[in-house]
Amino acid sequence: MGLANLIANYEWVGSFPYIELTDDEFIPIHSVIPRRRLIKLNPEKTFSGGNRIVEVSQYSLEMDEQRHVLDRDDIILDQKGAPISARVTQYHQLIIDNKEHNVILF
C-alpha cells in the first residue's frame, strides 16, 4: 500500500494455497475491492451491518522499479477492517487457521 498509507503494524502470516472463484451471490470479501472488480455491494449487510465503507480514488495498484505508476483504480475498503459483503467478478479463497478468507488479488 505504500508507506504513506501504511499506518498500521503488520506481521507476516505465511504463504497459502488458494483457489480462484466466481460467484453470483454476495460473499464476504476480506480485502480491499478494486472498483473494476466490484459488481454490487450488499446494501443490507454493508450499510446496516456496521461497516464503515470508504472509497479511495485513483489508488496506485502497480509501480515499476522507478516507482512510476503503471496502473490505478478506485478501491473500496472498510475502515474497521471488517469483511465487505459484495458481488465481485472474481476472488481468491484462502484457508488460514481453518477459516475461509476471500480476497481479491491484483
Task: Please state, for a pLDDT cut of 90, what percent of the chain lies above it.
Answer: 60
Summarised one tens digit per residue, pLDDT across range 28-59 is: 999 999 999 999 999 888 777 678 899 999 98
Mean pLDDT of 85-104: 95
Helix (H) or strand (E) holding 100: strand 99-103
Strand partners of residue 71:
62
Mean pLDDT of 63-90: 93
Mean pLDDT, the chain, rounded, equals 89
pTM over 0.75: yes
